[in-house]
Chain A
Amino acid sequence: MLQVKNLKAGIEGLEILKGFSLEIRPGEVHAIMGPNGSGKSTLANVLSGREGYEVFEGSVRFSEKDLMELSPEDRAREGLFVAFQYPVEIPGVSNINFLRTAINEIRNYHNLPPIDSKEFLSRVKEKQAMVELQMGLASRSVNEGFSGGEKKRNEVFQMAMLEPKLAILDETDSGLDIDALRIVANGVNQLRSPERSFLVITHYQRLLDYIVPDFVHVMVDGKIVKSGPKELALELEDKGYDWIRQEFASSINKSN
């Protein structure tokens, strides 16, 4: 589904991703952990197509397409969804209206007719309940005046509405209390399916208690330095990132 090979990318000429590689197959849940400044959010931004980020080297294939050649909207239409760390507030634009437009433009891209109104509304109702998003929040202006937790739930709500193939959660757990974390994770778990994959970017192991990953990767200085099963996350929680850094540094020394 997603193949990232030796990706070197950054912003304003500064290389932040320094040879990042990762492969995600349908249905898999991958977690990326790493200390501050390791390039986790840059990865999410580069994959989403945010302006200002440059790719210097490497390739990203998504659903048999060169992802880097696609506009942000075409990435979404191909089935990529990014739940942002800092969702923007858009006064005056109602959640529902923009989601209807989004769904219809995605459908149009796949040569499908616009979504039936009834079907749309029942989907709204169902997904709203799934993330315990208060009735009324969905029809309000996008994120305007939402609490931190409501914003993140709204991200998962949008994800549920758009039914992507691959969802990237960029530190969705930051700023969430335990209850909100449980709700968000619960929403994500309900969306897990053999066709849908997830890339969960997080600082803390805590989220992975709720969203249990198939693979855990540790990112340091712009690339993955260690991969393992879900137990790796526990080990990191226990020992911190320093031992990985040391292990990584000594492996470089050895190879030199």
Chain B
Amino acid sequence: MAAEKELVASEAIAGLPSFLRNAPKESVLVPQEAWKKAVDTLARFSELPGRSTEEYKYTDTDKFFPSDIKQVDVIASSNGVSHNASVDEKSHQIVFRNGVFVETETRLPNHIRVTWGSKNRSEVPQYAEAYFASTSDPGVDFFAALNTIRFHGALFIEVLPSEGLESSVRVIHHYDSDSSVSELYFPRMFIHAHPGANACFLQWANNKPNGPERRVVGVTEIRACKNSKICFYRLQHEGNNFAQIQDLSVLIEEGGEVDTNTLTIDCVWVRNNLSIRLAGRDATAHLNGLFITAGRQHSDMRTLVEHQAEFCKSNQVYKGVLAGKSTGVFNGRIFVFKDAQKTDAYQSSKNILLTDDASVYSKPQLEIFADDVKCSHGSTTGQLSEDAQFYLQSRGLSKESARSLLVSAFASEVLETLKNDELRKIATELVFEKMNKGLLVS
């Protein structure tokens, strides 16, 4: 690494490991402009985002980094790569093991190409060069900017138009190292869908539960070109030694459609940022999400939809189920630009509190500058219906079964939006498994 410059003037950022205060003078991958923007963003902070910042009002990040944390080297190809991992010949997949892209386990259809970039600018595919780090706005989020400064390798995924069936690709991150110190990862991924292209991505992590503390600060960028269709589904169930801050930025051009789903089923601490820009007319975005928390778990979902062009549609349904002393946050903002006439935007946030000690903060925001639009939003928080619970009990179901059936029913509205059978099955089973553990029974 070249000479490093001090990023943050103040020593006073409590909780930020000292090695994160420094950054190389320039990036081997990130274009100069995006790099500078990220550096400037970080320099503005004198403390980690938390209660005093509007964006992180309910999510303190000052304990996010354990004191012994080290960034894991994902460049050295020998690191953690297992060559005899079981490979399912039938499914398409992109595999990472402890942050390292594993080409030998990655299998893709002809119209999807990947490039792993880590060493120099020439590895960045031409289609990405122009847009890199421009779909996400590092000026907004501290951690997305931190990722821009610190990531060492990025995966560029190119989706070309294909005849016939839509392809679904699993993006699997295995975390199974036996490191003695806490690990920090900065995964970075870019999906570029060419005009008319079509693909579905399902991402999840297989985290070894008894390993070291793991922290992930990830950024994914999607650019859906004209008339392309992309699904990006993320399933989070990493368990207790894993905390993450994920930033997903999507840009949709004319006639494009992007379908996102974020399922947070078993995460000790998670923050998900999702921003979608509908940049060309007739573009469509679906944003769905479900979080289920128990114990002292914390889940923060943040969405931003920008209607920049006319005749665009956005539809979001977020649901939360909270037990124990867990906390949840949904903050959804819809911004309709002046020229975005005929916008059709919908947002719904519904939460169920299963215990008296669980809490949820739900904040829908609608800002409309066009005058001919159809926008609506709603937010509700309540408890399971006692009448419904009694009805089921009166038919012979235990209180636990009745509650778990009602929670599944509540969650099903989100699960049913998953257009991929495989992920829907996995997610549905996880929801049941979580409830069968008794976590949801007060």
Contacts and interface: CB of A to CB of B under 8 A. Distances in A.
Interface of A: 48-51, 71-73, 75-77, 81-82, 84, 87-88, 90-93, 97-99, 101-103, 105-106, 109, 141-142, 158, 162
B405 interface: yes
Interface string B357-400: 00000000000000000000000000001111011111111110
B401 interface: yes
B397 A101 contact: yes
Contact of A90 (B392, B396, B401): B392
B401 A72 contact: no
B436 to A, nearest CB: 12
A91 B385 CA distance: 11
A158 B409 contact: no
A92 B412 contact: yes
B405 A73 contact: no
Contacts of B22: none
B396 A76 contact: yes
A142 B396 CA distance: 15
Contacts of B385: 88, 90
Interface string B401-415: 110011011101100
Contacts of B412: 92
B201 to A, nearest CB: 27
Contacts of A50: 390, 394
A72 B393 contact: yes
Interface string B49-80: 00000000000000000000000000000000
A102 B408 CA distance: 16
A73 B410 CA distance: 22
A84 B395 CA distance: 11
Contact of A162 (B395, B399, B406): B395
Nearest to A79: B396
B394 A90 contact: no
Contacts of B413: 92
Query: Which of B388, B394, B405, B406 has the most C-beta atoms of chain A within 10 angstroms of its own C-beta?
Result: B394
Given A92-B408, A105-B401, A158 B395 contact: yes
A167 B11 CA distance: 74
B398 A105 contact: yes
Contact of A92 (B386, B387, B397, B409): B409
Nearest to A91: B409
Contact of A105 (B386, B388, B394, B396): B396
Interface residues of B, number: 23
A9 B395 CA distance: 23
Nearest to B410: A92
Contacts of A106: 396
10 contacts: A49-B394, A84-B394, A90-B388, A92-B406, A92-B408, A92-B409, A101-B405, A102-B396, A102-B397, A105-B397
Query: Which of B396, B398, B402, B413 has the most C-beta atoms of chain A within 10 angstroms of its own C-beta?
Result: B396
A76 B412 CA distance: 27
Shortest 9 CB-CB contacts between residues of A and residues of B: A92-B409, A76-B396, A72-B393, A102-B396, A102-B395, A106-B396, A93-B409, A73-B393, A90-B388
Nearest to B392: A98
Nearest to B387: A88
Interface of B: 385-388, 390-399, 401-402, 405-406, 408-410, 412-413
Contacts of B401: 101, 105
Contacts of A93: 388, 392, 405-406, 408-409
Contacts of A51: 386, 390
Contact of A98 (B390, B397, B399): B397
A242 B40 CA distance: 87
Contacts of B396: 73, 76-77, 102-103, 105-106, 109, 162
Given A87-B391, A90-B388, A73 B398 contact: yes
Given A88-B391, A92-B413, A162-B395, 11 more contacts: A49-B393, A73-B396, A75-B394, A76-B395, A90-B409, A93-B388, A93-B392, A93-B405, A98-B395, A105-B397, A158-B395
Query: Which of A51, A92, A103, A162 has the most C-beta atoms of chain B within 10 angstroms of its own C-beta?
Result: A92
A93 B395 CA distance: 14
A99 B391 contact: no
Contacts of B386: 51
A76 B390 contact: no
A9 B344 CA distance: 55
Contacts of B390: 50-51, 72
B300 to A, nearest CB: 26
B394 A82 contact: yes
Contacts of A75: 394
B393 A84 contact: no
B391 A73 contact: no
A93 B404 CA distance: 11
B431 to A, nearest CB: 12
Contacts of A99: 395
B387 A73 contact: no
Contacts of A92: 406, 408-410, 412-413
A120 to B, nearest CB: 14
B405 A48 contact: no
B162 to A, nearest CB: 36
Contact of B393 (A71, A87, A90, A91): A71
Nearest to A75: B394
Contacts of A87: 391
Contacts of B394: 48-50, 72-73, 75-76, 82, 84
Nearest to B408: A92
Contact of B391 (A90, A103, A162): A90
Nearest to A103: B396
A107 to B, nearest CB: 9
Nearest to A73: B393
B409 to A, nearest CB: 3
Contacts of A98: 392, 395, 397, 405
A73 B399 contact: yes
A80 to B, nearest CB: 9
Contacts of B393: 49, 71-73, 76
Query: Which of A76, A98, A99, A158 has the most C-beta atoms of chain B within 10 angstroms of its own C-beta?
Result: A98
Nearest to A77: B396
B401 to A, nearest CB: 6
